[in-house]
Structure 1
Amino acid sequence: MNSLFTILIAMPSSFKRAILIIADSLIVIFALWLSFSLRFGNWYWPIGGVNDSIALLMMIAPALAVPVFIQFGLYRAIIRYLDMKAFLSVFKAVIIYAAVWGLLAFLSGEQGIPRSVVPINAMVALFTIGGLRILARWSLRKIEDANRAKKNHFQQARSLIKQGKANMIIFGAGEAGRQLAVGLEQSHECILLAFVDDNVNLHGRDLMGVPILSESNLVEFVNQHQVDGILLAIPSISRKQRSLIIERLRPLNKHIRTLPGLSDMARGQSVYSQLNELDINDLLTRESAVADEALLQSQVTDQVVLVTGAGGSIGSELCRQILQRKPKTLLLFDISELALYTLNNELKKILNQLSQADSTWFPSEKSQEQDSEKNSGNINLMPRIISLLGSVTDEKRVSDVISTWRPNIIYHAAAVKHVPMVEQNITECVKTNIFGTLVMAKVAIEWQVDSFILISTDKAVNPTNAMGASKRFCELILQALAAEESPSFQILFGGQPSERVDCKMQLAIVRFGNVLGSSGSVVPYFRNQMMQGGPITLTHMDVTRYFMTIQEAAQLVMQAGAMAVQELRDSINEMGAEVYVLDMGEPVKIYDLARRMVELSGLRVKDDDFPSGDIAIKVIGLRPGEKLYEELLIGNNPKKTQHPRIMKANEQYLSWDELTPWLSSLREAADNSDVLMIRTLFKNLIPEYIPEKKVADWVYNEQLKK
């Protein structure tokens, strides 16, 4: 059937129109014969056979019908997309054709043609010609939907529709499950077959007319019934418990979806269409790191906060988290106009929602005056959100921003980070990552910013690529500056400033692994490939990565900054930029992640064991600079912190006077686009850096050809 559909779609329009004209011609002849038969009450046949004049009138009916049908556009419309307007045209065309044929019949003077045949013919022709199109539209759409659903796992539930409804099981017979069931019943889009619950007191009972099963009976039930998907309605359990349940459901190869917001169901909205795909966070099997709210608030509440790279994945999530904790002013700094515009609009919506939920965000002028007179410490003013275009490498622009708003804390997330892209544009990586960080730190020190937090990466540990090496260089810059009481930037910045600047700023480095759902992350990349029908492309079967959620990453950055400030207060004489890392559990094998995503979407992996599967997984080879596995620590002597899931690395670094000549040489190499010198400087300063022998930089390779 699918191959026939493909052939029909690929046919030229003129050929498909010819088929439809022939079908209509046969139908109008059949309709006339059936009309006479219905009128006379028996199967009609003209007395003179095919030579009879009535038979001749039947045979010329297509010559009357087809021109009328053409005039009304019956052969211009695409059958599988016919709408009510098209069927109205069918009605008009058939009525006019029937009237024309009736007029011709009576003008011919032929005896034996009852007048009632004309309206009967109109009705029969309308049912047959209109019915043919309805049947064709239904069949073509059904085949098209099935084909589309195979290519798009988000429509998996629709591909298994029986009589317009999908058969579903709700996992969880508690309050959330019952509300979901009510919502599904109102939506009329699926049939609820059963509940599943781990409460033994509920097993064997009925709820809303369907049985409540134990998990042990689920496999047998699924095998006996045509189950299209499973809906999770267990919002109160932990992520680890949720992941264990999902893992047990995975062998069933059913599409698993999650509960929408209970408020949506309470409003009676179309629940089935709003059910969510499994959240990205569900792909992590470890428990999420619990945030210390006191630490988060102590860092940003009622403060002026600057976030560089605000439009990026980490930067934007940082802004969301900061805004929820009521800063005085939130400065969004990014080079991308589109990213800033999008984030600014989103944050304004969040601010509006928060203000409606908490009246203290919009106090009256009178209450503000009273609080001011009492010198109250309560936060009563709505945070200001200020979007600022600029590059972190532009010292004048950075200085203007910091001197104007005097931020208390800077979160430096601006960087180029995609490993293959950076490997092909090494010079720009050095300028943005290394010297962008240097510019930000220098200006922050000059204007006596309280805290500066650098966002680093696990790729900085034993790097094999330029991105990782550049991030390790950034770490060394901050470590050297933190240890220097009065660093001088004279050599690096053309003699300005010539004097040394007192460094009273607290510097901290936060290092973490891959972030689920961030730009360039494998999860959205794999999902897009699944939507296209596959294959999912892996660089290597044994690649492993540490993963964390984007919320965890943002909260880790904020908590680490707060801990750094506290430690500075507790140990006045101890200097240094601390490196904080998150205990991210065990690394995840990317192949297992890809397979898990396919199976939890109700699809099967296409491999040697199951050649008729839906989505293949294809290995394409490691990309330039890519590692098989990542590490979080240089050495194995991490220290504990007040947060059970955050560790503090104890790593060696150079003094500022030792690092300065390296930076001068690196700037000269970057200004001259000397890729080989940059790689050499990386290797000499960072002994762990082991790049690939082949240089991937586009400009360097093109210049070699000349």
Structure 2
Amino acid sequence: MLKLLSALSRSQRAYVFLGIDLALIPVALLLTYAVQVLPASALETLRASLPVLPYLLLIAAALSKWLGLPNIQLKAYERFAIGLTALYAAGIAGALAGLSWIAGLGLPAGTHVIFGLCYFIFAVAIRMVLLQVVTAIYRRAEPRRRVLIYGAGTTGTQLAQALSAHDSIDPVAFVDDNTSLQGMLLAGLPVHPPARIAELVRARRINRVVLAMPSLSQPKQAQIARRLQKMGLEVQVLPSFAQLIGEEALIDKLTPVAPQNFLGRKSTDTGLQEACQSYEGRSVLVSGAGGSIGSELCRQLLGCHPSRLVLYELSELALYTVHQELTQLTEGMGIEIVPVLGSVTDPRQVRKVLGDHGVQVVLHAAAYKHVPLVEANPLPGLANNVFGTRTLARAAAGAGVERFILISSDKAVRPANVMGASKRLAELVVQDLASRYDRTVFAMVRFGNVLGSSGSVVPLFQEQVSRGGPVTVTDPAVKRFFMTIREAVQLVLKAGAGAQGGEVFVLDMGKPVPILQLARQVIESAGYSVRDEANADGDIEIEIIGLRPGEKLEEELTLNGDLIGTRYPKIFCAREDHLSEIEVAGVLRGLRQALAAGDEAAARAVIARWVEGYADSEAGRRRL
């Protein structure tokens, strides 16, 4: 039967409906004559009416086609279609009256009214019956998806009514938090409390849940959805009214609050001014050019009009992205953009790139910087951050590069993790080279967290908020220094321009910001409230997960706090002791042996011996 129904074209189905409508006319006539008191019996009266019946059928067929009744689908047969059927019934009743008068049948005037009513009832009833029959055929032939509707309000009940006639979806029940609705029947379905979802899923074989609560905040919907998905259920969300009327495009264009808005102070942007002279007309290489810091270095360098900008990057995707962007920005400026795919740990390639492109300034931003990842992979972190820096710096000195600026981190000061220790060792390597080479100015710039950079806390919090939370904070007492990317890079370029050789520049980052406070700001800036003991009905919870291996409650910017001012108000120079050439050679030899042997413990032992303030991460992990 299903194959037969599916094989019918739209026009064939219309002819079937037309045939049914026409077949109902003699049936309605017979019933009309049967309920009336007439001189002859119902069958005799029908036989007397046979001469006018063909004309009545022709008129009925034409009227039906004109009104479009055969083209109305069964599932779309509602109030408007019923109104058309009433008009159609009145039309053929009038046609019967005219034909009866012409043929002289002598039927009472009330006969035509009763005929119209009988036909209308038959036509509507037959379509209702056909809808149930066809629906039953489809339901038997195709598997049904049993649906639980979460939310028994107006939206939920309307959804249940709409799904009741669906070919493949079977609404089973409601669940709702409103205790006044629980136990009631709405749209023919029972309303249960959410606590019974697991029981309902087993008993009623439910495999999909539709969240019909568009007024509920997105985080709360996300929390409910995750809880249901853990039960193995497919979860769908009914769109809000704003989405249905087309405001979704506007919503999509809304962007998260800019990271600099969470700085807690006014960011400084004084421009590079005379610092540009150190980069203007020169060939500049930026390692790690595809990263957050590296790409911003490239953008700001364009304002200084270097003759050539060499983009040195290990990630193909990151290099492609930054190269495409800078190529468009430099159109018509006469600046050559050179993309180089490679690693700073490759001495042969580094020497070739520096020589082929006549590099005069190196800004070394390439590094593995994510603390937990480097803590879990210490040997690759040390190889890249320490030996990569040494390889690039020595090649720069050999090529006669004018300036080599290392981008360092506040985590290098008394580090509690391998990443910070690797950056401190990179600083010691650069300081050693600065004491031995006069032609190249070696310096390093140390600063804290950069808002909005890849892997930084604000984008992470914003992503967690978009998923409905929770927002994770390692410890309530954690504080960090923050700068914007633009602010940090601007000061790096200024410090690099003013370097004389061997300096450790420290940027003024203001007061450290409590991460717990930052998490609250991110949640509230997104228009949500924090759910805690004081606000049990809040949208998003802040979860304390504990310090991870290698993390400290607070970071420092200097070893001894001894700072010297520079000509730039936000840039200071730290006075710190460094290792001798022999000591640096010993450090590198020990690390090289540990890397060759794949011995993490030996590498940590080298760090513990030479990096001031370093606490062995293994011990730290045991304490945690």
> In which range does the TM-score fall when normalised by the shorter chain?
0.5 to 0.7
What's the CA shift for 1:24?
5.5
What's the CA shift for 1:280?
1.2
Asked whether the equivalents of residues 475 and 547 of structure 2 are also in contact (C-alpha less than 8 Å), the reply is yes
Question: Structure 2: which 5+ residue stretches go unaligned?
Answer: 1-72, 95-111, 146-209, 224-238
Asked whether the equivalents of residues 484 and 655 of structure 1 are also in contact (C-alpha less than 8 Å), the reply is no
Q: Distance in 2 between matches of 1:151 and 1:302?
A: 56
1:612 alignment counterpart = 537
What's the CA shift for 1:57?
3.6
Q: Distance in 1 between matches of 2:472 and 2:84?
A: 60
Asked whether the equivalents of residues 219 and 469 of structure 2 are also in contact (C-alpha less than 8 Å), the reply is no
Q: Which amino acid aligns with 2:424?
A: R
The alignment status of 1:396 with 2:396, answered yes or no, reads: no
* CA distances 1:524-579 after superposition (whole Å, capped 9, x unpaired): 11111111111111111111100000111211211111110xxx3xxxxxxx5101
* CA distances 1:206-225 after superposition (whole Å, capped 9, x unpaired): xxxxxxxxxxxxxxxxxxxx
Q: Distance in 1 between matches of 2:215 and 2:329?
A: 37
2:339 alignment counterpart = 387
Aligned 1:444-483 pairs, distance under 5 A? 444-483=396-435
The alignment status of 1:298 with 2:258, answered yes or no, reads: no
Q: Distance in 2 between matches of 1:160 and 1:47?
A: 46
Moved over 2 A (4+): 21-41, 45-50, 52-58, 62-71, 140-153, 158-165, 270-278, 289-296, 691-697
The alignment status of 1:60 with 2:126, answered yes or no, reads: yes
Asked whether the equivalents of residues 152 and 530 of structure 1 are also in contact (C-alpha less than 8 Å), the reply is no
Which residue of 305, 317, 320 maps to 1:338?
317
Please report the RMSD computed on the Cα atoms of aligned residues, expressed in angstroms: 3.8
SS at match of 2:408: strand
Q: Distance in 2 between matches of 1:396 and 1:512?
A: 31
SS at match of 1:662: helix
Q: Which amino acid aligns with 1:537?
A: T
Q: Distance in 2 between matches of 1:162 and 1:531?
A: 17
Which residue of 295, 302, 305 maps to 1:323?
302
Q: Distance in 1 between matches of 2:330 and 2:418?
A: 39
Q: Which amino acid aligns with 2:263?
A: L
1:539 alignment counterpart = 474
Asked whether the equivalents of residues 29 and 59 of structure 1 are also in contact (C-alpha less than 8 Å), the reply is no
What's the CA shift for 1:692?
3.0
* CA distances 1:348-367 after superposition (whole Å, capped 9, x unpaired): 12113xx4xxxxx3xxxxxx
What's the CA shift for 1:613?
1.2
1:556 alignment counterpart = 491
Larger radius of gyration: 2
Q: Distance in 2 between matches of 1:645 and 1:416?
A: 26
2:286 alignment counterpart = 307
2:357 alignment counterpart = 405
1:493 alignment counterpart = none
Which residue of 666, 673, 677 maps to 2:602?
677
2:259 alignment counterpart = 280
The alignment status of 1:592 with 2:479, answered yes or no, reads: no
TM-score normalised per structure 1? 0.58
Aligned 1:61-460 pairs, distance under 5 A? 61-63=127-129, 143-144=213-214, 148=218, 274=253, 276-352=255-331, 355=332, 361=333, 382-460=334-412
What's the CA shift for 1:296?
3.1
Give the paired residue count. Answer: 450
Q: 1:425–1:163: structure 2 CA closer, same or farther, 3 Å change rule?
A: closer
Which residue of 635, 643, 668 maps to 2:560?
635
Q: 1:293–1:32: structure 2 CA closer, same or farther, 3 Å change rule?
A: closer
Question: Structure 1: which 5+ residue stretches go unaligned?
Answer: 1-20, 79-139, 166-188, 191-269, 356-360, 362-381, 486-502, 569-575, 698-706
Q: Which amino acid aligns with 1:449?
A: V
Q: Which amino acid aligns with 1:687?
A: E
Asked whether the equivalents of residues 342 and 349 of structure 2 are also in contact (C-alpha less than 8 Å), the reply is yes
Q: Which amino acid aligns with 1:536?
A: V
Q: Distance in 2 between matches of 1:161 and 1:665?
A: 64
* CA distances 1:418-465 after superposition (whole Å, capped 9, x unpaired): 000000100101110000011011111111111100000000011000
Identity in percent:
40
Q: Distance in 1 between matches of 2:506 and 2:477?
A: 24
2:461 alignment counterpart = 526
* CA distances 1:42-76 after superposition (whole Å, capped 9, x unpaired): xxx995999x56533432123556899999xxx99
What's the CA shift for 1:660?
0.7
* CA distances 1:389-433 after superposition (whole Å, capped 9, x unpaired): 111111001011111112111001111110000001001011100
Asked whether the equivalents of residues 309 and 413 of structure 1 are also in contact (C-alpha less than 8 Å), the reply is yes
What's the CA shift for 1:469?
0.4
Q: 1:34–1:525: structure 2 CA closer, same or farther, 3 Å change rule?
A: farther
TM-score normalised per structure 2? 0.65
